Amino acid sequence: MSEREITYADAIREAMSEEMRRDPSVFFMGEDIGVYGGAFGVSVGMIEEFGPERVRDTPISEAAIIGAAAGAAATGTRPIAEIQFSDFIGIGIDQLGNQAAKMRYMFGGHATVPMVVRAPAGSGTGAAAQHSQSQEAWYCHIPGLKVVTPSTPYDAKGLLKAAIRDDNPVVFLEQKLLYRKKGPVPEGEYTIPLSKGDIKREGKDLTIVTWGRMVPMVLDVAEKLAAERNYSIEVVDPRTLMPLDAQLIIDSVIKTGRAMVVHEAVKTGGYAGEIIATICDSEAFFYLDAPVRRLAGLDVPIPYNPELERNAVPTPETIEKNILDLLD
């Protein structure tokens, strides 16, 4: 398969368009996704190709969007529902958590709910407290949902195609600052299984587990410390948080003997705690040379002030400091 470099946003649009061409039961719905092309321009041009029946502009009602998607999925189609900001999924949490997530179980497997809820997440755009949250731990706590957090264009396309084909509801979280990032993406057909993580950088001194926009940030720090101090840091990107590729993380920690989890979401109740418990409940615990470290966002709403916003979540400086605390 030949490769070219495209943006994260283009990779998502390609995934949706290819699946809509492949399967007539796939359709796309959300606020301003049609003529306007989406709040972040992800769906520009799709309504011209697929028309208003399959690229449906909806009212400003997240409960209606997610509820309609759940009903459509249960009755034979494969909807992709875009929520303009992931913060607003809470308005449709009954439809998502009490209906879509539980329907297959409650009907003994006779009903399937093949739907994807796509949503921009995270801070860094100056959108303040109600439009900048990282709420992945909320969705991981609901049995029946799959939760995906791609960090590269390649992962975004392959994971979204797999999510659309999956017979279960998937929450697909896209960090907003990644939309314009470019990376290699094959022109040919491929998917990425929703249960497989990825080692973004091989190493032997420390395992860092991270996802979303923290992945490129951690990779930059790892390269810097490799050049300056000869530290060999392994970076593990789960890609899918639920179901988690726990064995990949465990094997990495057994190899390196040290572990740190980095995420943008607030520390208290964040998913880092679950990953650390997974490590400590496994054979990897007996290989640890130091306690597992957690670096996360502050337990505050995301500020509007740019400098305060930057420092409410992990930064290259805080990542480097925590690595040095573990390795020096």
Q: What fold, for 3-186?
A: Rossmann fold (3.40.50)
**Which segments of the chain belong to CATH 3.40.50.920?**
198-327
Q: Looking at residue 50, what is its pLDDT?
A: 98
Q: Does domain 198-327 have CATH number 3.40.50.920?
A: yes
Q: Looking at residue 97, what is its pLDDT?
A: 98
For residue range 48-62, list pLDDT tens digits in order.
Answer: 999 999 999 999 999
Is the model's pLDDT at 206 over the cut of 80? yes
CB atoms within 10 A of CB 39: 18
Beta bridge partners of 260: 208, 293
Helix axes 246-256, 272-280, angle to 10 degrees: 60
Is the model's pLDDT at 1 over the cut of 80? no
Higher pLDDT, 275 or 3: 275
- Give me the mean pLDDT over the 3-8 stretch: 93
CB 16 within 8 A of CB 80: yes
- Give me the mean pLDDT over the 86-97 stretch: 97
The 3 state secondary structure assigned to the chain is: CCEEEEEHHHHHHHHHHHHHHHCCCEEEEECCCCCCCCCCCCCCCHHHHHCCCCEEECCCCHHHHHHHHHHHHHCCCEEEEECCCHHHHHHHHHHHHHHHHHHHHHCCCCCCCCCEEEEEECCCCCCCCCCCCCCHHHHHCCCCCEEECCCCHHHHHHHHHHHHHCCCCEEEEEEHHHCCCEEEEECCCCCCCCCCCEEEECCCCEEEEECCCHHHHHHHHHHHHHHHHCCCEEEEECCEEECCCHHHHHHHHHHHCCEEEEEEEECCCCCHHHHHHHHHCCHHHHHCCCCCEEEEECCCCCCCCHHHHHHCCCCHHHHHHHHHHHHC
Q: Which of 46, 14, 50, 264 is nearest to 159 (CA)?
A: 14
Residues of the chain with pLDDT > 90, as a percent, come to 98
Is the model's pLDDT at 2 over the cut of 80? no
Q: Looking at residue 3, what is its pLDDT?
A: 77
Catalytic residue among 110, 131, 141, 263: 131
- Give me the mean pLDDT over the 93-116 stretch: 97
Higher pLDDT, 206 or 1: 206
- Give me the mean pLDDT over the 108-137 stretch: 97
110 is catalytic: no
For residue range 140-185, list pLDDT tens digits in order.
Answer: 999 999 999 999 999 999 999 999 999 999 999 999 999 999 999 9
**Which segments of the chain belong to CATH 3.40.50.970?**
3-186
Q: Which of 33, 121, 15, 28 is nearest to 68 (CA)?
A: 28
CB 234 within 8 A of CB 198: no
